[in-house]
Chains A and B, each alone.
Chain A
Amino acid sequence: MKRGYRRLAATISLAAMAVMLAGCGDKMGVLNPKGTVGKEQLDLIMISTVLCLIIVVPTIVMAFWIAWKYRIKRKQKADYDPEWSHSTKIEAFMWGIPVLIIIVLAGVTIHYTYKLEPSKPLESEHEPITIQVASLDWKWLFLYPEQGIATVNYLQFPEDVPVRFELTSDAPMNSFWIPQLGGQIYTMSGMAMKLHLIADEPGEYYGSGANFSGEHFGEMNFIAKATSQEEFDQWVQEVKDGSEALTQEGYNELALPGVTEELSFSSFPEGLFDWIVVKYGSGGHSGHSATEAESDSAESGEGSDEHAGHAAALPAGQSETETGSEQHAHH
């Protein structure tokens, strides 16, 4: 009878693995990184997995082995000892080994936590390119302040060049994630977060919003395409020549809840990103904008209430999506 179950389980898991492998290959995301950050994160995942397995595998084996060895039906019963309930030696091992493993893992984790802090610029011979990201309901807006172009749900940048993402949100919080390039960071209104990623080779990488943000959140996917510098420059030129400009009115309309296809714009209102950030600033302090805040320190999230000083410099054209933050901003 039991053998029947086990066969069933084995068949099902084999079938499962076959189906899994059929769909894989280049779809493996986190396990197939194409950038320095993603690769180091994969290393860390591997290190932590191995450290855990050192303790997990023997534990499971021991559990089954002891349960089986001392089952009631076995022949020899001499070593039944119902009073045996303490052994300092065993207890020392069972506290000691997990403590040791956690110490090692904690050391590794702390090291990598500082090394891979997402707001820290990446070392590279190339100058980083800045891309500003805003999560809207339910689409991704990408602004290229150096190139002066903007795209929606589509991202392109040169390979081997560090990309410095500046992120905010003009909608409920979301999370910006391109698994093959590296880990995600939240996009939050009233804040400008930073995330540095790099693509080591050309390719089209799947990106998405990872934090639930309402009805059509599931459709907030985009392609992040890494190309050669020439192809990138060419693409920028094409966008500049072949697309319309994004106006403030156009932005206000874009920010309304809804789903869109990929879009591109030849220009966008200056300071749009800062405007989105300060729109939700809580007011009170005079401060500097996200792009001016070049501190690149670990405390990238602290920009939240430092932007209200710019409230006076808001572009004209308040839309119906405005939330009335101006009325509430205290000066």
Chain B
Amino acid sequence: MWQNIKDFAADFFVTGDPLIYGADVAIVLTMSAIVFVLTYFKKWKWLWTEWLTTVDHKRIGIMYVIASLLMLFRGGMDALLMRTQLVMPEMEFLSPEHYNEIFTTHGVIMILFMAMPLMFGLFNLVVPLQIGARDVAFPFLNSLSFWLFFAGAMLFNISFVIGGSPNAGWLAYPPLSGTMFNPGVGQDFYIWGIQISGIGSLATGINFIVTILKMRAPGMKLMKMPMFSWSVLGSCLAIILAFPILTVTLALSFIDRYFGAHFFTLDGGGNPMMYINLIWMWGHPEVYIVVLPAFGIFSEIVATFARKKLFGYKSMVFAIMAISVVSFITWAHHFFTMGSGADVNAFFAVSTMIIAIPTGVKVFNWIFTMFKGKVSFETPMLWTVLGFIPCFVVGGMTGVMLSVAPADFQFHNSYFLIAHFHQTLIGGVVFGYIAGLVYWWPKVFGFKLNEKLGKWSFWFWNIGFYVCFMPQYVVGLMGMTRRVSTYSWDSGWWGLNLVSTIGGFLMGAGFLIMVWQILHSIKFMERDTTGDPWNGRTLEWSIPSPAPMYNFARTPVVEHLDDWWEKKQRKAKGEPEKPLAPLEPIHMPKNSGIPIIMSGFWFLAGFGLVFDWLWMAIPGFLGVFACMFAHSFNYDTDYYIPVDEIERTEAAARGTV
């Protein structure tokens, strides 16, 4: 009996690596500390009723942001481990196998469990406020989306200490990811972690499309909608077209692994190339899905801090939509070297280059928004003008270089490529989301983040970025290929790799300063009582910070693009304000425990399938159906906030009690 348990544990837990034992201890200690604190301060009930069961988009947004920052830490640690391994030739810090696992989890976590949830967090925090809505279209579904992401992310992350991590790269090309070359459970964690959170992503896409199309405040025509909301719409349209492809692809590869089918296997008529086409038909739009909202954020920030209307609004809208459409016909540029022939390569080369046109136009638009403005450089603007624009322009340029198919034969799979996509993803997505987070922080929490620490963080991130990735372009041209865990002394790559590693650690320092900035600001920053600390232009700045539960006490009526700015202008000119409509009771959704419980069952089902334990998977799926059933027959899902309570809340929020 004891022997059986020991054998099981040796298989079940990842063993043999001191780094992992360290992580085990850290995980146990952290979990115990959390449980202790919650119990000691009697916070369990508060946690459950106020947060875990909430359907309030703002709270869901905050939970997304917290989870994604934790994932940024995890993915960042992976990055630093890799850079440490590559700091000098023939380094023996990580074994090749461990290295493969780390670059796989780094890629998956950064794209799917960091960028996506941070993006969804910003959607949730901003979009309903920006379009003058009380909530998203489907608040219950919104909560479910979050918990599905969370369950998927946790399932993916525990592979690190239980069972073993996936090791076939972030897109898990078969046959390497098939049972023939990958019999362990790592790849199953990959399939189910992504699959479960992917359902949540698809639901969020649908939710925000409906929210934006159906729930805008009266008077807000589509062409009067703020640019961030436009970019969210573009991104969500791409989500609902791209994510079903991912779902099917993962499902087929699950059928291959679990039932021994031959969709993507080497033998039995399987076609691994089919998987590569399918995964990139999702994967390419995916990078535009995450970068479009960043474009929206930059548009809001540039207009606000230049104190001027956004230049070329119609161009911007057209560019966003063009990018989200064209991104679907460029996928084969990820494998020009597959020998599809000159016709195919020429088509995909040109379609890829075409994306540079609307993207370039957007950059010009931001620049001309500053023209004849009054530009100030608070942290969000610093990220935009000094961080994002030069970085993204150069990253875009190397992207165009990569799209030149015959030249790509020399860039493909080299560090040149690595440098390119980190430049667009960090320079575009990460810089954008950080800028957005700093910009909307006072709206969400009611106080600004510390500017001085923010600027320190900015410089560490930025200098670190260039020190880290510029050498990688060069070392790629010298012939260093991606995903090598070691290189030789006579390759001549040492110096560049050393510099790159230093840059990686500088960015790590930037992250730590950012965390310090947040903690410091929570403790010391003054409350913002205006609700409009940046002198903003759009609706979200017209209400108190943090926004009350119901967002708008009275449904706003919109007349202009940048309606709040126009209202402030009129007020400054001394024009009389319109009389306020009387308050009415507000219809709100009720909290629900079903999303978190249902996601728990999804987790069980996923975990059971990973380990081939049907005794766990089947009850897991039954639980999922039971939750659906329970929710279908729940008619008690909403309530009204009475007028006197709204009056009290408003008075308190505006400090007039």
A70 → B minimal CB distance (Å)? 5
A118 within 8 A of B: yes
B545: Cβ under 8 A from any A Cβ: no
Nearest CB of chain A from residue B351's CB, rounded to whole Å: 10
CB distance from B481 to the nearest CB of A (A): 5
In the complex, A31 Cα to B416 Cα: how many Å?
A: 12
Q: Does B367 contact A (CB under 8 A)?
A: yes
**Neighbour of B306 across the interface among A70, A112, A301, CB < 8 A:** A70
Give A208 to B385 CA distance when docked, in angstroms: 40
**Considering the chains assembled together, what is the distance between the CA atoms of A16 and B309 in angstroms?**
41
A258 to B: closest C-beta gap in Å = 13
Question: What class of interface size applies to chain A in its complex with B?
Answer: 35 or more
**Roughly how many angstroms separate A19 CA and B498 CA in the complex, as a whole number?**
9
Task: Indicate which residue in A82, A194, A209, A213 contacts B373 across the interface (CB closer than 8 Å).
Answer: A82
Bound complex: CA A18 to CA B4 (Å) = 59
The CA of A27 and the CA of B490, in the complex, are separated in Å by 9
Q: Given A63-B389, A82-B373, are A212 and B406 also a contact pair (CB < 8 Å)? A: no
**Which of A92-100, A139-147, A236-244 makes up part of the contact surface?**
A92-100
Is A218's beta carbon under 8 Å from chain B? yes
Q: B401 contacts A113, CB within 8 Å?
A: no
B315 interface residue per 8 A CB criterion: yes
**B506 vs chain A, min Cβ distance (A):** 9
Known: A82-B308, A216-B96. A173 touches B360 (CB 8 A): no
Report B335-349 residues with CB < 8 Å from chain A CB.
Answer: 335, 337-343, 345-346, 349
In the complex, chain A residues whose CB is within 8 Å of the CB of B342:
113-114, 117, 298
A315 to B312, CA, bound (A): 69
Is the pair B173, A173 in contact by a Cβ cutoff of 8 Å? Answer: yes
Q: Which residues of B contact A85 (CB under 8 A)?
A: 308-313, 369
Please give me the residue from chain B that is nearest to A322 by CB atom: B267
If A13-B466, A212-B483 touch, whether A63 touches B385 (CB-CB below 8 Å) is yes
Q: CA of A297 to CA of B343 in the docked complex: distance in angstroms?
A: 11
Instruction: Specify which chain B residues have a CB less than 8 angstroms from the CB of A183 in the assembled complex.
Output: 337, 406-410, 412
- CB pair B483–A186 under 8 Å, yes or no, is no
Q: In the bound complex, do residue B477 and residue A66 qualify as a contact, i.e. CB atoms below 8 Å apart? A: no
Shortest distance in angstroms between B535's beta carbon and chain A's nearest beta carbon?
11
Residue B375 is within 8 A (CB to CB) of chain A in the complex: yes
Q: How far is the CB of A32 from chain B (nearest CB, A)?
A: 9
A313 within 8 A of B: no
Bound-state CA distance A45–B271 (Å) is 33
Query: Nearest-CB distance from A93 to chain B (Å)?
Result: 8
**Complexed CA–CA distance, A79 and B342 (Å):** 53
Of B96, B273, B313, B361, which contacts A215 at CB under 8 A? Answer: B96
A30 interface residue per 8 A CB criterion: yes
Contact indicator A119/B339 (Cβ below 8 Å): yes
Residues of B within 8 Å of A282, CB to CB, are 269-271
Q: A172, B176: Cβ atoms under 8 Å?
A: yes
B154 at the interface (CB under 8 A from A): no
Chain A residues near B586: list those with CB within 8 A: none
* Complex Cα spacing A179 to B466, Å: 25
The answer on a CB contact under 8 Å between B360 and A31 is no
Chain B nearest Cβ from A252, distance in angstroms: 16
Complex-state Cα separation, A17 to B181, whole angstroms = 41
Per-position binary interface string of chain A over residues 84-111, scored 1 when its CB falls under 8 Å from any chain B CB and 0 otherwise:
1111001100110011001001101110
Find B339's partner among A55, A185, A217 (CB 8 Å cutoff): A185
* 0/1 interface trace, chain B 341-378, chain A, CB 8 Å (1 if under): 11101100110011011001101111111111111110
Cβ contact within 8 Å between B393 and A70: no
Known contacts A71-B377, A109-B406, A188-B272; decide if A215 and B97 are in contact (CB<8 Å).
Answer: yes
Contact A283-B272, Cβ < 8 Å, known A105-B353, A119-B339, A186-B335: no
- 4 A-B pairs closest in CB distance: A183-B409, A27-B492, A19-B495, A298-B341
Cross-chain pairs A/B with CB under 8 angstroms, 19 sampled: A16-B471, A24-B492, A29-B479, A56-B394, A59-B363, A82-B373, A94-B365, A109-B350, A114-B342, A173-B173, A175-B337, A183-B409, A183-B410, A189-B272, A212-B168, A218-B484, A280-B267, A283-B269, A301-B340
Q: List 17 other contacts, CB 8 Å, given A94-B365, A210-B413, A323-B266.
A: A19-B498, A27-B491, A48-B401, A60-B394, A64-B385, A72-B374, A72-B376, A86-B313, A105-B353, A113-B346, A172-B173, A186-B335, A188-B273, A210-B412, A215-B96, A215-B100, A219-B486
